[in-house]
Every structure is written in C-alpha cells, then in structure tokens.
Amino acid sequence: MQWLDPWEPVRTSMDEDYLAGWEAELARETGPGHPLYRTPVKLIARRFDCDDALYELEDGRVAWVHLAWVQHQEADPRWPATVIYPSLEAWEREGLAADHADWIA
C-alpha cells in the first residue's frame, strides 16, 4: 500500500509506548453503544496534521477514528467519531483518497 499525505503508517516508525497510548485513549473514550466499545484494536496509521487515527480490528476491518483526547469515556456513543471500513483496501479507496485530495487542494 502507498501511504499518501497527510497519513503516515506507525507500526514501524513509533515505539510500543506511543502505539499503546493511542490504543488506550480509544479504549478510554468509547463507551456502551459505541461500535468499538471493548473491541481489541491495533493502531496502524495516523494523520500527522490532526488527531485522526486508523485502527485495525481483529477481523480485518479497519476503523477511522477522530480522537478527542478527553481522557475519559464519552457519554454520547457517537463519539469519538468513527467510520468502520470492511478492509484496508476499502479505506484506501474511500478514506485515504479523499483525505489526500483535500490535502493537495
């Protein structure tokens, strides 16, 4: 896969503490009713210009999430904002492509 600005992969460039911090924040922010509540995830990429992250789920789906970094569980299950894609390839076609087009515009 070719990563396009403003996204960058993190599995090989960041240390375990960094990855664990983003994964822990997602777990803190999600509550009952949120699609990722108590779902094991692995951070695979993030936007370098904001708090958007891409997480891999155990079943191969990926989730785009905009973290708020509030350090507590959100009361509204719509937050943090999340879109789940059936695969990394689907996110690449839809999410990455749109973000890159906005970035270069």
Place of tokens 């999340």: 82
- Confidence class of residue 102 from pLDDT cuts 50, 70 and 90? very high
> Domain segments of the chain: what residues?
7-104
pTM comes to: 0.95
Query: What is the tens place of the pLDDT at every residue in 42-73?
Result: 999 999 999 999 999 999 999 999 999 999 99
Place of tokens 């695969």: 87
Look at the chain and count its residues: 105
Query: What is the tens place of the pLDDT at every residue in 15-42?
Result: 999 999 999 999 999 999 999 999 999 9
CB atoms within 10 A of CB 89: 11
Q: Where are the alpha helices (DSSP H) in the chain?
A: 16-29, 88-91, 97-104
